[in-house]
Amino acid sequence: MAESAELSSVDKIKAGSNALRGHVAEELANSVDHFEEDTVQVLKHHGMYQQDNRDLRGAKDAQGNKRGKVYSLMLRVKIPGGCLSADQLVAQLDLCDELGNGTARITDRQDIQLHEIPKRNLREAMRRIHEAQLTTLGACGDVVRNVLCCPAPFRNDAVRNAMRDLALRVSQHLLPRTAAYREIWLGDASTEAVGVGEPGSQSQDRDEEPIYGRVYLPRKFKIAFGLIEDNCVDAYANDLGFLAIRSGDQLEGYNVVVGGGFGVTPSNKRTFPAVGQALTFANPSEVVDVATAVVKVFRDFGNRSDRKRARLKYLIADWGLDGFRTKLEEYLGRSLCPPKPQEAIGCEDHLGWHDQGDGHWFLGLFVENGRILDRDGLRLKSALRELCRTYRPGIQLTPQQNILLSDIAPADRSGVEAILHRHGVKLVDAISQARRWSMACVALPTCGLAITEAERALPGLIDQLEKAVLDVGLEGERFTVRMTGCPNGCARPYNADIGLVGKTVGKYTVFLGGHLLGNRLAYLYKDLVPLDQIVPTLLPILKRFKAERLTGETLGDFCHRVRPMGSNRADEA
């Protein structure tokens, strides 16, 4: 069982929630503009976060009176592997316009987030998500989150096809089973009365969670499927990663890595980021069982008293990888074989035009920080609507928060480009490497954890960085820049070439020396750097890299090699 018999406050709420029903239905029926805190914790498992617009805190209304928080809900639509249809994408764009704040956001877990939906619009939003044959169940909360998979739609690649099918099987297998979601949001005719599922009721079996149990997991759990030659999913940053290994044109199996995760609480020195460690090799037929067993070990032994240490990485750190392997073998009922000697060797973002291999093409479009919107000079949302209605492409969302349009006939390529040009959407050749590989979390104004800016600050910072890179002569260099508004690391800054983590208002910790492949932590280079001093702080590093780099050395490799004495890795900072 967990480290302590004393449950955290959130686990107590889950335990008493009647299989994730709580008081959601009652509070939906009242006229209050927000949910109570216990209900907020339950709602996370239905795929939503209650937030308030921090820009509006303390603002005055039309009568000049100071108003309180302006509450709304962020809905996260769960899209396994990032694949959806043109109609499904248009439905989400319509929904954000009509019920939200007019923007949709691609996440680095291949979800779509819909922001600032008022409580009064919540039922309608959930109904329309369901009508589009999508769901928010399992997108948030203490369950397995959206399962990542390389989205590149190369149709004649048996390995990618098999991997994609397996990722979808794992995702479906690890969904929560409770009937609460259908009862509350979809009005399931067989479960109209909210509250069924109490001990002894006829619906009790429908609420049984054979994988998660009554209290679900100690914290969230993340899974990713990538390839040795293309780790675009950043498998090492996940609790559980599967890296496909080829044998000729066929899939041999997967190297399994465990224990990645980037959430940190600076005041708690027992918390740290971690990259996953190679645990075993699994044949394709073994993957579902291995994934289930890892989740169950975490369920039974993860820390349930201290949520700051309730991730799989801490269980592995406390037990050691060998101790974790022994317990996993006990749950599987068999021994695990060692991992193959391969690690990730490549990472692609899949932007630009690519031959699918079936006579059609796909086009990868850069979406800055994942935000789909219309603004002066860039009408991405309108462009995507027109493309979806005119050409009906397949849609694939990437872990770099970009979008792929697939199944485009060769004769339609010029028409696609014309629509993009008319709406101010640039193709990848017109985007710098610094911007192309950049990524930020949402941060202000909607994230309650944000200390400082990220998404709203990074584009301007990249403007400055582009000039510095050009001046130094490194404009062709590929390196990652990732910024977060707090230490929780949602945009994966701790394994980036350059990681920028909000530390206090307007100031950031600068990390250097990670790697595009994602298998190495960066180290703390400088703390409390004001936003306007970040590029001046990086400029001497760029100049030295240009002058002293070894043949084939990346920026992250160089920073790792010349790491200053006494500097701490992200997990030691």
Task: Kindly list the catalytic residues.
Answer: 76, 145, 220, 222, 441, 447, 486, 490
* Residue written as token pair 């697939």: 406
Instruction: Tell me which residue of 239, 570, 347, 413 sits closest to 559, measured CA to CA.
Output: 570
Phi, psi of 525, rounded to the nearest 5 degrees: -95, -45
Half-sphere exposure of 545 (CA within 13 A, CB side): 28
For the record, the structure tokens of 174 come out as: 């690890």
Separation CA 475–CA 469 (nearest Å): 6
- E strand or H helix at 84, and its extent? strand 83-84
The distance in angstroms from the start CA to the end CA of the chain is: 31
- How many beta carbons lie within 10 A of that of residue 104, not counting itself? 25
Separation CA 161–CA 397 (nearest Å): 16
Contact between residue 174 and residue 141 where contact means Cβ atoms under 8 Å apart: no
Separation CA 482–CA 534 (nearest Å): 13
- Pairing state between β 352-355 and 507-512: unpaired
- The residues near 323 (Cβ < 8 Å, ≥ 6 apart) are none
Instruction: Tell me which residue of 283, 477, 255 sits closest to 344, measured CA to CA.
Output: 255
| Residue type, position 13, single letter | I
Separation CA 36–CA 53 (nearest Å): 17
Contact between residue 311 and residue 239 where contact means Cβ atoms under 8 Å apart: yes
| Residue type, position 556, single letter | G
